[in-house]
Chains A and B, each alone.
Chain A
Amino acid sequence: MTIQINLNQPPFSFLSTEQLDWLTSRLDLVFFPSGAVILDEGNVAPGIYIVYKGVVEETDSDGTVFSQYGKEDVFDVRAVLESACKHRYTAMEETLCYLLKAQDFIQLLEDSSDFSIYFKTDLGTQEQLVEQRETGVSEFILSRIDEDTIRTPVYVTGQTSLARVAVIMKEQKHDAILVRTAKKVGIVTGTDLLNATLLGDMEKQDKVADIANYDLIDVNYGDFLFSALLKMTQHGIERVVVRRDGDIIGMLELMDMLSLFSTHSHVIAMRIEQAKSMKELVTAAKRLETLINSLSSQGVKVVAIMELITTLNRRLMQRAFDLIFPERLRNSVCILVLGSEGRGEQILKTDQDNAIILENEHDREAVLPLLQRLHQAFLDFGYPPCPGGVMFISDSWIETREGWQGRVSRWLSSAEPEPMMNMAILMDAEPVCGNAELFAPVKASWQKESLRSSITSSWFARPALQFETPLTFLGKIREDHGTIDIKKGGIFPLVHGVRALAFEYGINESNTLHRLDVLQERRVLDEETAQGLKDALLLFLRIRLRQQLLSNSINPGMSQQLKLDSLRSVDRSMLRHALHRVKKFKQFLIHHYHLENF
């Protein structure tokens, strides 16, 4: 008997063909009239229902709608795994459901671990499973640092002569050796030896302790290989020390990693590092989008892509800055990236949002033409200009330290929407070029205890409620000609609400995920809420990225319209859950900031 629903999608696609055939043979069909209560609070569920036709609504005892289920959606797994159903499920129209009896469902959970993990976990893990499943590629980038990837370190004592170290390196075929002295452990590389003897004035018989580098860059055993790559890129080095419980257990070499790497992220990073002209930088920048495309199609998680792209973008900007700014000016300015780039949440380039802090007003004349050139470089890299003019080439975004402090306090006392939005933009700033220390006193100007008054923070929070969540009162996704604006409907309210809380609690982080971590640590949000919002944001970003990559527009990063019909049923259902979380979070904000009458 063929089944009238598509089981070739998660979670059922986690099952083998035999398991699917068995499942199909175990299904019954139940027909409910409109208004029938399929499951009620306290009921023992006979099994899981898979909707074939019709709509089922899930409500709690107050009548609040939790969710709606349509074709191929599954409910109520929790009721089967736990003892009883916690909500009421009502057929909103005549509804046909396949029923898989509880004992058969549990049998499948026992037979398939992926299937069971999918059901026993939260949205975040489900999402991961789905993401992994999508490509079927076990991507190297997602593997972890383990015995297979690290080299056993070779140690010498600090007293060893340079000549002896060179011999050991050759014998052991290691280009880097760890140096143990009485107090600490350092590292010495072949290049260090050459520099010390050929370029410096060290002798063959000198002690290695004197040339070793004791500032070890390390990663932890079990971390993603990816994070090791990020550290190497950030520090411009080719190996890191691997620690377990604080002890050094091995070395991880860039060359070893590169031989395994299937993407060219590091090649691009190297090109950025080695570029000697703006032209070479532009070439490297142009390859970023290809990189995003290939990472995304290989099923690399969106959070990992985000981190990598943020690191590469910032290095790109730093290199352009170094090429344009003369050394004497580099330390007396600080260039900030704002908005999504500041939060480290940009993947495809959107517009450039940036600002500059001058140490001395008298540098302004000299700096202005350089900023024009830097702006042009960013345009060449592919960052479209900011339509709102939030750019360091505009007078309103160039200030001295004191100037910025003054503006911040004027913004905060104004209680007007526009200054508040400027505040919000500046709040996400990250210093990327020049002297980062100039930024600290500016940042301190909005992290004052006295500013925590409920009026200012509630003014700050208001825009989070500006756009309605695209859900109907029945809890279905409300679409407009088959699309929703994911920025207005999901990303902005979530990001801004979290930003408002970060503002109120003087949280230093600018990344939304990190802000959520701190808010959870400080018990402003409970774990479930914080985790739920993180999962929701990553889901929005992932679905948006996929559709942006498929679009043929010139600036795919600017598109915020999600086409619902090109989402798979499982994504649609996760999107609906995520939008519900945003809606719930907005209710929390209304309550927290007393915005009931807004």
Chain B
Amino acid sequence: MLRLWQKLSGRIPPQGRWQHMADPYDGDEIVVLDCETSVFDKRKGELLSVAAVRVKGKEIMLSSAIDITVKSDAVTDPNAVRVHYLRREDREQGVAVSEAIEKLLDFIGNRPICGFYIEYDRAILNRYIKRLYNFQLPNKFIEVSEIYVRRKRRLVPELHLDLTFEGLAKDLNVPVIERHSAMGDVISTALMYIKLTEF
């Protein structure tokens, strides 16, 4: 059975402590998350910070959000520092990456995970989770830009769309808050999601 699941999904299911993450989710919340990495590369990028917030209906539950900086001495692309504003000095105050992942998994549970270009965050997180706990995220993933494209193309199939983060934010008229801080991007993404699903 286990093998079958693995074969069908192509993923290693969680065991023991994290087993519940594979349970079907019957609540009404999703988790929006965003990771900032040392370099923009699925295989080499090291996790520098991760932010996540639960969204329920039209409400972004900021008061319970998590925003974790990872203690890392990864060499960053000097250009990337400008992108995520996490200097080495900032990162020295952070927590160990294992602690960050553990907190994040507890926070997410079996809720669906949503983000902008979430495939990247999924790859980064799975790399660490596989190493630490030997499984891969079984959660349902929601790509905000995909909902956006579906909504737009339903009306005008041939439409040319600007699928950058800024392009979506502009077209959907949601504020871009502290672009490239993990938490700021999470809030903007959550706003896009609410607007695409609730309005």
Contacts and interface: CB of A to CB of B under 8 A. Distances in A.
Contact of B175 (A25, A28, A33, A96): A96
A94 B61 CA distance: 19
Given A4-B177, A96-B175, A33 B199 contact: yes
A33 B173 CA distance: 12
Given A29-B59, A53-B175, 19 more contacts: A1-B62, A1-B65, A1-B67, A2-B178, A4-B177, A25-B63, A27-B62, A28-B61, A29-B60, A30-B60, A31-B58, A31-B60, A31-B191, A31-B198, A33-B198, A36-B58, A94-B173, A94-B195, A99-B59
A28 B60 contact: yes
Contacts of B175: 4, 53, 96
A30 B57 CA distance: 9
A99 B56 CA distance: 14
B100 interface: no
A14 B168 CA distance: 39
A26 interface: yes
Interface in B165-195: 173, 175, 177-178, 183, 187, 191, 194-195
Interface of A: 1-2, 4, 25-33, 36, 53, 94, 96, 98-99, 101
A36 B58 CA distance: 11
Contact of B191 (A25, A96, A98): A96
B148 to A, nearest CB: 16
Nearest to A26: B63
B187 A29 contact: yes
Contacts of B58: 30-32, 36
Contacts of B194: 31
Interface residues of B, number: 19
A106 to B, nearest CB: 15
17 contacts: A1-B62, A1-B65, A4-B175, A4-B177, A28-B62, A29-B59, A29-B60, A30-B59, A31-B58, A31-B60, A31-B191, A31-B195, A31-B198, A32-B58, A94-B173, A96-B175, A101-B63
Contacts of A31: 58-60, 191, 194-195, 198
A27 B199 CA distance: 22
A91 to B, nearest CB: 10
A181 to B, nearest CB: 73
Contacts of B62: 1, 27-29, 98
A26 B60 CA distance: 12
A96 B62 CA distance: 13
A517 to B, nearest CB: 47
A101 B62 CA distance: 12
Contacts of A2: 178
Nearest to A25: B63
A32 B194 CA distance: 9
A516 to B, nearest CB: 45
A21 to B, nearest CB: 13
Contact of B59 (A1, A26, A28, A36): A28
